Amino acid sequence: MPADRLVIAIDGPSGSGKSSTAREVARRLGLGYLDTGAMYRAVAVAFLDAGVAPSDTAAVIAATTNADIALSLNPDERWVRVNGRDVTAEIREPRTSANVSTVSTIPECRADLVARQRALMDAAPNGVVAEGRDITTVVYPDADLRLLLTASPEARLARREGELGGRVNQAELRDQVLRRDADDSKLVEFQTAADGVLLLDTSDLTFDQVVETVIDLAKERS
Q: Across the chain, how many H-helices and E-strands are there?
A: 9, 8
Q: Print the domain residue range for 86.
A: 6-221
**In total, how many domains does the chain have?**
1
Torsion, Cα 29 122 69 163, to 10 degrees, reads -30
pTM: 0.85
Q: Is residue 106 part of a domain?
A: yes
Q: Is residue 158 part of a domain?
A: yes
Q: Is residue 1 part of a domain?
A: no
Kindly report, residue by residue over 71-119, the tens digit of the pLDDT. Answer: 999 999 999 999 999 999 999 998 998 899 999 999 999 999 999 999 9
CA separation, residue 63 to residues 95, 117, 131, 157 (Å): 17, 17, 23, 31
Q: Is residue 172 part of a domain?
A: yes
Contact 173/121 with Cβ under 8 angstroms? no
- Identify the CATH number of the domain in which residue 20 sits: 3.40.50.300
